[in-house]
Amino acid sequence: MGTASYAAPAQAATAAYACRYGAVTASDLAGTVTPTAHRAGLALHARLRVRNTENAKLTRATYVFAIGNLMKNRGPAPLVQWRIGTGHWHKATLHWNSRTNGSLPLWNSATLSLGTIPARGSVVTELSVTFPKKSIKATNYDFLDFHSAACGTSRLGWYVGNGFEYEPWTGTEGQPV
């Protein structure tokens, strides 16, 4: 009589990605430091580690960067640039959204690419924010909203950054300087 053999099913090449809120997290590599400019034209930087908490790689990862002050005073758009790791800098296109997340008005970027984040791995993205003359003297809060084209419209994570301060030595808080 022949011997029966059991063949295990082939492992999937990649596990399915769980498109859920919390699948992507972020942290600022500078801790809780808030970059501050005391004059217009000075580039402020934040380096963020973006983590994939899932056991499958995340392809086509993206985020939207948003920045604004609680004064709800628009001022001119800051120059925002971003890069992955030590790669090339890219200029982010910003548009004004007067009702972001309810009622807080913010400058929102177009979608910015993170590429592929390995399973249980991370990538570092760096942001550069430069306030032009006539910017509003204030702390500008920043937010990152994580997505992936592979997950449709599912929000994979939300990060509230340390902010970017535009605090010239002169001028009135909440007013253009």
Tell me the pLDDT tens digit for each residue of 18-47: 899 999 999 999 999 999 999 999 999 999
Class of the 24-166 domain?
mainly beta
* Whole-number Å distance between alpha carbons of 140 and 55: 35
**Residue 89 CA, distance from chain mean position:** 15
Spell out the domain ranges in the chain. Answer: 24-166
Q: pLDDT above 70 covers what percent of the chain?
A: 89
For 99-109, write each residue's pLDDT tens digit: 766 667 889 99
Per DSSP (E only), the strands in the chain are: 24-28, 36-37, 43-52, 58-69, 79-84, 90-91, 94-100, 104-109, 112-117, 122-130, 138-148, 157-160, 164-166
What pLDDT is recorded for position 101? 60
Average pLDDT over residues 138-150: 94
Q: Which is higher by pLDDT, 74 or 130?
A: 130
Instruction: Please tell me whether the overall predicted TM-score, pTM, comes out greater than 0.85 for this model.
Output: yes
To the nearest whole number, what is the mean pLDDT of the chain? 89
pLDDT tens column, 80-90: 999 999 999 99
Confidence (pLDDT) at 103: 67
